[in-house]
Structure 1
Amino acid sequence: MKSALFLSAAVAAALSLAACSKATTDNARADAAAAVNTAQDAAAGPVGQMSAQTIGSHDTPSFVANAAMSDMYEVEAGKMAQARGKAADVKAFGKMMADGHTATTAEMKPLAAAAGQTPPAALDERRQGLLDNLKAASDADFDRVYVDQQVAAHQEALTLLTGYAANGDNAGLKGFAAKTAPAVQMHLDKANGMKTAMK
């Protein structure tokens, strides 16, 4: 009887240790994945900024492609923020992004067509990676990840729009860029304000 009791206690202890070890391993994997995603997001910002400053600032096909993908990313990320955001201002910002960037997509389409351009139907790898990282964010980290991405995305979009408004070669799209830039600046200011409040 004593040996059976001892054996049961030993088995229970071993199972408990195994479960604890698995939980520790799972937590370590989740932490490592989150660190990789944060590094990817941090690298995506400067890459986009460089692209916006160079070719996107004057090349019409590049401007149309990047402006369209920026809108697609913002709409999808905004929907996620409405569904998963914890803070009321994050949810409200997500709605503003989804609505605002749906409207700019509709406004740009005929201008792009008049310029002989067809906006892409899907995101590039960099922006899809941002969405994937946002989806993978833990509930506790979601608001911070979203806001960090929003600051970088709006800095890039503002650079793209102001650059094309100044240097673009299509009058209709230049007007669109000039008209849209102040709204993007307002979005950037709001995202920076949320980021500061989170610190």
Structure 2
Amino acid sequence: MRSKLILATAIVALSACSGAPSVTNEAALPNSGVNAPEMNDAMAPPTAEAATDAASYLGKAGAGDLFEIESSKAVLAKTGNADVKMFANMMVDNHSQSTKKLKAAAKADGVSVSPPKLDPAQQAMLDEIKSAQADRVDAIYKAHQTQAHQAALALQQAYAAEGDKPALKKAAAEIVPVIQKHIETLGKLPG
């Protein structure tokens, strides 16, 4: 059953990343309680258009960092896997640093930063990690981290290329290789 959920999640994630048409409601993920279109929407990377103004970018980047930090803290409370623990600790540290970097850049650009808030899809993923059984939490965490990092990479790349504030564009460009390293490390995690 676990492998079916992971396979279904991977298929939906790939279709979201490739721009393939979304799946119909009849294609709900088995025993997940989530319909495929909701998952598809949750995993769709932000569009470049949505990420080019500072306020939208900061809101999405802040929510992304908050998800990475909170989901990593949640998995640390459950996992027994040393590699997952190491990755989760790295997420807490690196995403705390990127939040500080973006706040400083926003200040330099004269842009106010609102406190971050998870969107409904991020909250659902966090809740799933928190409620997961210990024997399934690593795979769920890895799947959600992969989705979140793909979205974060698209967001940072789009703002670095087309953003409207110079210090924030520079910060986004500096964050891109960090996210790419996270994605590479995720590929090596079990689950």
TM-score (norm 2): 0.76
> 5 Å matches for 1:56-135?
56=51, 58-113=52-107, 114-135=109-130
Where in structure 1 do 4 or more consecutive aligned residues deviate above 6 Å? none
Q: In the alignment, what sits opposite 2:173?
A: 178
Is residue 2:146 matched to residue 1:136? Answer: no
Q: In the alignment, what sits opposite 1:165?
A: 160
Max radius of gyration: which structure?
Answer: 1
Q: Give the 3-state SS of the residue equivalent to 2:135 in structure 1.
A: coil
Point out where structure 2 has 5 or more consecutive residues left out of the alignment. Answer: 1-28
- Stretch of structure 1 that moved more, 172-181 or 120-129: 120-129
Q: CA deviation at 1:180?
A: 0.7
Q: Give the 3-state SS of the residue equivalent to 2:32 in structure 1.
A: helix
Q: CA deviation at 1:110?
A: 2.4
Q: CA deviation at 1:74?
A: 0.6
Partners of 1:169 and 1:147 in 2: CA distance = 33
Q: In the alignment, what sits opposite 2:33?
A: 36
> Are the counterparts in 2 of residues 63 and 164 from structure 1 also a CA contact under 8 Å?
yes
Q: CA deviation at 1:192?
A: 2.1
Q: CA deviation at 1:119?
A: 3.0
Is residue 2:152 matched to residue 1:152? Answer: no
1:126 partner letter: A
Partners of 1:34 and 1:136 in 2: CA distance = 14
Point out where structure 1 has 5 or more consecutive residues left out of the alignment. Answer: 1-31
Quote the sequence identity (%): 32
Paired residues in the alignment total 161
Partners of 1:133 and 1:190 in 2: CA distance = 22
1:183 partner letter: V
Partners of 2:48 and 2:128 in 1: CA distance = 25
Please list the CA deviations of residues 20-74 of structure 1 after superposition, one character each: whole Å capped at 9, or x if unmatched.
xxxxxxxxxxxx995125955565112xx0x244311x12111110111111111
CA RMSD of aligned residues (A): 2.1
Partners of 2:110 and 2:31 in 1: CA distance = 41
TM-score (norm 1): 0.74
Partners of 2:35 and 2:68 in 1: CA distance = 18
1:38–1:44 CA distance, 2 compared to 1 (3 A)? same
Partners of 2:35 and 2:70 in 1: CA distance = 19
Q: Give the 3-state SS of the residue equivalent to 1:35 in structure 2.
A: coil
Larger helix fraction of residues? 1
1:185 partner letter: Q
Partners of 1:36 and 1:115 in 2: CA distance = 43
Please list the CA deviations of residues 130-165 of structure 1 after superposition, one character each: whole Å capped at 9, or x if unmatched.
111111212111000000001111111011011111
